[in-house]
Structure 1
Amino acid sequence: MTLFIFIYIFIIIQRLTELVISKRNEKFLFSNGGVEFGKSHYKYIVLLHTFFLLSLPVEFFLKDKEFVLHTINYVFLVIFIILQILRVYVLTTLGKYWNTRIILIPGKNRVRHGIYKYLNHPNYIIVVCEIFVIPMIFNLYLIAVIFTILNALMLFVRIKEENKALKNLI
């Protein structure tokens, strides 16, 4: 249970810190002529991620305590740690252009260095993996399956919107 609480608090602090960074970056982007796209679906992304985070302790504490306490999946724990390193790398690669929304500055070139030289949306790949991996550390299968599917559907909409914005604006 201690590992669950530690990881859960880590994720909450990490996400709240990222929201602060995102707000700061949004101000920079808007002050430099940034235009927001995909406003209509953003609230659903926020809801999805909020319910994901809220559902973790619910399933964890409703499960058979003996099973959960003695079966931490260390393979998924290692994958989670690797994903956190990649997450920081992706966010620092985008720097002041990273935010949780789709905000682009017209005429500004896309970030095409680091991992973005090889992948268009590495952050989304990391998030997809996280949404599956985090619950799997503690064998929370229901959350892993349901939220992976919901997130994939949401990302289908989001990536389509982001690609359209990138094509039309940059």
Structure 2
Amino acid sequence: MLVAAVAIERLAELVVAKRNTAWSMERGAVVRGQGHYPWMVALHTGLLAGCLIETFAADRPFIPALGWPMVALVLASQALRWWCITTLGPQWNTQVILVPGMPAVRSGPYRFSWLRHPNYVAVAVEGAALPLVHTAWITALVFTVLNAVLMVVRIRCENEALTLLEERPSR
């Protein structure tokens, strides 16, 4: 049921992202880094599928001493993710989209200079914790490694976009 709840949350994110994409495009936005985006979608879909497949195929148990703390981490990661989404407002998206003249957000979880990409902290925590609720350690490990590789590409893309955003004069 937890995996289903996370899947529904992901669908809600896509609805918000679609609305925010339309808002951004109406303001002359530019989409960057589209090459890695299908890999991100596949990885996140694979996480949800892997949680279910490994749990049932390998008969992974729910061990309360591990499972309940992992549930707490999944919930905390969701709270952080939605804090990021609400803080960024219409500038939040699942893709890297630059709206000319929009300043970089420096409030909410983005006010901490040492944590430039708090949403990816949420993704990393959730990606490790969700499978471990039912001791699906292979899924947790594979997701964590592949996500780390993908985040190198994604964060580089976002940092370049943020640099462009900061160089552009705001209205």
TM-score above 0.5, yes or no: yes
Higher helix share: 1
Query: What's the TM-score, normalizing by structure 2?
Result: 0.90
Structure 1 segments, 4+ long, off by >3 Å, are 69-72
- Please identify, of 70-79 and 43-52, the stretch whose mean Cα deviation from structure 2 is larger: 70-79
Q: Say if 1:69 and 1:167 are closer, same or farther in 2 by CA, change over 3 A.
A: closer
1:92 and 2:86 matched: yes
**Cross-structure match for 1:114:** 108
**Cross-structure match for 1:21:** 16
The letter of the residue matching 1:68 is: P
Aligned-residue CA RMSD in angstroms?
1.4
Output the CA distance in 1 between the equivalents of 2:78 and 2:132: 15
Q: Deviations over 1:95-152 (max 9, x none)?
A: 1111100001123110111110102100011101110010111110000001100001
**Cross-structure match for 1:128:** 124
SS in 2 for 1:99: coil
**Cross-structure match for 2:99:** 105
Q: 8 Å contact 2:63–2:135 — kept in the other structure?
A: no
Unaligned runs of at least 5 residues, structure 2: 167-171
1:68 and 2:61 matched: yes
From 130, 134, 138, the counterpart of 1:138: 134
Output the CA distance in 2 between the equivalents of 1:69 and 1:45: 28
Q: How many residues align?
A: 163
Give the drift of 1:84.
1.6
Output the CA distance in 1 between the equivalents of 2:101 and 2:82: 27
Output the CA distance in 1 between the equivalents of 2:74 and 2:38: 26
The letter of the residue matching 2:31 is: E
The letter of the residue matching 1:14 is: E
1:44 and 2:68 matched: no
- Please identify, of 42-51 and 147-156, the stretch whose mean Cα deviation from structure 2 is larger: 42-51
- Please identify, of 81-90 and 117-126, the stretch whose mean Cα deviation from structure 2 is larger: 81-90
Query: What's the TM-score, normalizing by structure 1?
Result: 0.91
Unaligned runs of at least 5 residues, structure 1: 1-5
The letter of the residue matching 1:116 is: Y
**Cross-structure match for 2:169:** none
Identity in percent:
38
